[in-house]
Structure 1
Amino acid sequence: MPTVSDIRTNHLSLQIRSGVSTLSQNSKKADAVLSNMRLSTYQELEPTARVGRGLSCTNYCIIFAVLFGALLAILETEPTLYDPFRGLFEVAEGVLTILFSVEYAARLWSAADAPGDASSLAKRGRFFISLAGLLDLVVLLAAWAPFFTANLALLRIVRLARIARLAKLGRFSRAAEHLHYAVTTRAYELLLAVSLALILLVAGATALYWAEGTVQPDKFGSIPRALWWSAVTLTTIGYGDVSPVTPLGKFIAVLVAVAGIGLVALPTGILASGFSEAVQRDRKADNQ
């Protein structure tokens, strides 16, 4: 027969097993809740992962915060506005800094639910080194910098860097995706257009150096000096601070100016074609 001691031991063992089983079940439930929360956070923050159409309320709030923060950074450069309301500006920047810190932490945490077979750590690392992740990090560092340094020159740079928050809006826009598609798919044609522009730039400067170098040595006395005129003429800006005076120089200037019109139209047409293709591709995907 089992002794009293054996019965107590068996009872204690059963209690321990029951406790371990309960803890295990609670742990699994907690992991499931945490996993669902992380997935919901990812779908709330990442426009491409959202189940419904359009942006989430969270993303609309982030867009408002980005625009408000950029407006603050612009107004801070005006002393007559910043000096009387310095306290309000600092409080607003502090609130935005906390908000963007929470956003960055949430994006980094929820990046584990991004599509793909990689591990959670690898997906978070991919987000960290991505263009959007690095931009978020730069903006965050610029926001926190005034709390850790009093260097006026650095603070001025940081204040201007805060305007870079506007670039965060790119992740919420389909137009930005279309533009990225247009640039990447038409990279060869754009490179050809840029190469042609450099050739025309140097050719125009060389021609004016040959025609006007002895007449206006201070403006066209060398090819590097003539490059300024060639650049503003090819881009159809034409400041008028430098201009040829000889008949030959004026004739060359007309040719360069006409070439500049075509040069501006060339990359515009290439990008328009790529952008149109991206829009049509998106519409086909939506219809399917």
Structure 2
Amino acid sequence: MSDQITLRRKVYEVLETTEKRSKLSSIIDIGLVVLIVVNIMSVVLESVESMNSRFGILFEYIEIFSVAVFTIEYLMRLWVCPEDPIEGADKNPRLKHMRSPMAVIDILAILPFYLTYMFAIDLRFLRVLRLLRILKLTRYSSAMTMLLDVFKEEASAFFAGFFILMVLLILAASGAYLAEHQIQPVKFGSIPAAMWWSMATLTTVGYGDVTPVTVAGKIFGACVTIVGIGMAALPAGILANGLATQLNRKREVMAEQFRMALQDGNIDDQEADAIEELRKDLGVSVNVANGILETVQKNKIKTKLHFCPNCGESLSQYAKENV
């Protein structure tokens, strides 16, 4: 039993991002990233008829090999998930893992292949779903991971923005219908038909294939366009604020690590290795990390200047008492 646990722990450290990263872990990560990229290129090129007829067998071999690797990866991650400090604390860690976003992405990456062979009907649209495998790159990209964290944390704000957009969409379509349905019964003959114009106008795309021709319709369309500018900026603002918050959190984590390392006045080799590993995990560049270190060192010097080196009392407080 202990050997099994030891083996499971070793596999966990190879597959997942831990402090004990080895060369094997890096090789496996790079191999999986390359395989995902090859898969995406294969799906895209397969849609070209001339390429599919010429390299169809090669695309099929790539698909079979990829599904085999991704299936093994999914089963291995499901096996080692009890070693995870968060999922392992749950009563049913494997069920918790299966419900996690990355596990759902992993299963969606292989599901189209198995469904194609399970059902005796034409499910070519399922093959297009193989493009979802690009989401597997999220595990190996700190930027994409941070973006998903933003969507998760700002879900309520995005939902509120989406709700407002839906309300405005219906109101804009209703107004356009009232102003234009008699003049343009084909394009604005109903509120659902007018929704195409209202969506294109609210999102400031403005295809131009459907436009108001009445005076009331043009005035109303101009108002909708102005409102649409604000609506287009709303999700962008939420996303930008969320990304800024995530970046500040990462920098604060780096700063705290530097503060702990500088408690004795210098950073030894072991602390430097731990900081470098943390920097890579957080996706912080070397220049940004150096800037954070300089800021922490300056703040540490300023703090020392405000306290007596002998007794440790605040010099500013001493100055106030003797004024």
Using structure 2 for the length normalisation, give the TM-score.
0.71
Does residue 123 (structure 1) correspond to residue 130 (structure 2)? The answer is no
Equivalent position of 1:51 in the other structure: 20
CA distance in 2, matches of 1:195, 1:207: 19
- The superposition leaves residues 13-35 of structure 1 with CA deviations (integer Å, 9 ceiling, x where unpaired) of xxxxxxxxxxxxxxxxxx44432
The residue identity in structure 2 corresponding to 1:190 is: F
Does residue 216 (structure 1) correspond to residue 184 (structure 2)? The answer is yes
Distance change (3 Å), C-alpha of 1:121 and 1:162: farther
- Tell me if the contact between 1:111 and 1:120 (Cα under 8 Å) persists in the aligned partners: no
CA distance in 2, matches of 1:112, 1:95: 28
The residue identity in structure 1 corresponding to 2:148 is: H
- Tell me if the contact between 1:44 and 1:50 (Cα under 8 Å) persists in the aligned partners: no
The residue identity in structure 2 corresponding to 1:66 is: I
- What secondary structure, in the 3-state scheme, does the structure 1 residue paired with 2:187 have? helix
- Tell me if the contact between 2:187 and 2:193 (Cα under 8 Å) persists in the aligned partners: yes
List runs of 5+ in structure 2 lacking aligned partners: 258-323
List runs of 5+ in structure 1 lacking aligned partners: 1-30
CA distance in 1, matches of 2:114, 2:57: 17
Equivalent position of 2:202 in the other structure: 234
Give the share of equivalent positions with the same residue, in percent.
33
Distance change (3 Å), C-alpha of 1:210 and 1:283: same
Does residue 139 (structure 1) correspond to residue 109 (structure 2)? The answer is yes
Give the superposition deviation at 1:146.
Answer: 5.0
Distance change (3 Å), C-alpha of 1:148 and 1:225: closer
Does residue 255 (structure 1) correspond to residue 223 (structure 2)? The answer is yes
Equivalent position of 1:191 in the other structure: 159
Equivalent position of 2:245 in the other structure: 277
Which of the pair has more CA radius of gyration? Answer: 1
Deviates more, 1:142-151 or 1:200-209: 142-151
Equivalent position of 2:137 in the other structure: 169
- The superposition leaves residues 143-163 of structure 1 with CA deviations (integer Å, 9 ceiling, x where unpaired) of 344555664x22x12321211
CA distance in 2, matches of 1:285, 1:36: 31
- Tell me if the contact between 1:97 and 1:144 (Cα under 8 Å) persists in the aligned partners: no
- Tell me if the contact between 1:44 and 1:59 (Cα under 8 Å) persists in the aligned partners: no
- Tell me if the contact between 1:42 and 1:113 (Cα under 8 Å) persists in the aligned partners: yes
CA distance in 1, matches of 2:19, 2:14: 6
- The superposition leaves residues 118-174 of structure 1 with CA deviations (integer Å, 9 ceiling, x where unpaired) of 5798212221232222322232232344555664x22x1232121111111112222
Distance change (3 Å), C-alpha of 1:196 and 1:150: closer
Equivalent position of 2:84 in the other structure: 114
- Tell me if the contact between 1:142 and 1:162 (Cα under 8 Å) persists in the aligned partners: yes
CA distance in 2, matches of 1:150, 1:118: 40
Does residue 84 (structure 1) correspond to residue 54 (structure 2)? The answer is yes
Distance change (3 Å), C-alpha of 1:76 and 1:236: same
The residue identity in structure 2 corresponding to 1:60 is: I
Deviates more, 1:201-210 or 1:177-186: 177-186
CA distance in 2, matches of 1:56, 1:160: 29
Distance change (3 Å), C-alpha of 1:243 and 1:171: same
CA distance in 1, matches of 2:87, 2:237: 39
- Root-mean-square deviation (Å): 2.5
Equivalent position of 1:268 in the other structure: 236
The residue identity in structure 2 corresponding to 1:231 is: M
CA distance in 1, matches of 2:77, 2:245: 31
Give the superposition deviation at 1:232.
Answer: 0.7
- The superposition leaves residues 206-232 of structure 1 with CA deviations (integer Å, 9 ceiling, x where unpaired) of 222222222222222322222211111
- What secondary structure, in the 3-state scheme, does the structure 2 residue paired with 1:217 have? coil
Give the superposition deviation at 1:181.
Answer: 2.9
Using structure 1 for the length normalisation, give the TM-score.
0.79
CA distance in 2, matches of 1:188, 1:137: 26
Distance change (3 Å), C-alpha of 1:180 and 1:50: same
* Structure of greater relative contact order (alpha carbons < 8 Å, 6+ residues apart): 1
CA distance in 1, matches of 2:182, 2:116: 54
- What secondary structure, in the 3-state scheme, does the structure 2 residue paired with 1:216 have? coil
The residue identity in structure 1 corresponding to 2:42 is: L
CA distance in 1, matches of 2:70, 2:143: 24
Give the superposition deviation at 1:116.
Answer: 4.1
- Tell me if the contact between 2:202 and 2:225 (Cα under 8 Å) persists in the aligned partners: yes
The residue identity in structure 1 corresponding to 2:210 is: V
